[in-house]
Amino acid sequence: MQIEFKSGASVKLGPNQTLKVVDGFGHTVSAIEGCVWITEENDPNDIVLEQGHSYQLKRHGTAVLNPLAGEASVAFA
């Protein structure tokens, strides 16, 4: 299933849910609630994004987001 949403909209992730972002290069991910783990295709470094912080996706391809320690909400710009 593919879901599209407008920039600024938030997505809530439940425990152990994964959000796959395809070709999100240049978009900014903000952790609205909770803590999020981000890994980008062809990048050996992972990101742990804490609530209130943002990260700009730096790679073309797929990025995977997972909540850490329960639920999380993220927004994209």
Task: Please write the tens of the pLDDT for every residue from 10-22.
Answer: 889 999 899 999 8
- Tell me the two tokens of residue 2: 């593919």
Taking only the tens place, the pLDDT of each residue in 20-43 is: 998 889 999 999 999 999 999 999
CATH classification of the domain holding 59: 2.60.120.10
Question: Residue 41 is part of which domain span?
Answer: 10-76
> Model pTM?
0.85
Domain for residue 2, yes or no?
no
Report the C-alpha gap between 67 and 55 in whole angstroms: 15
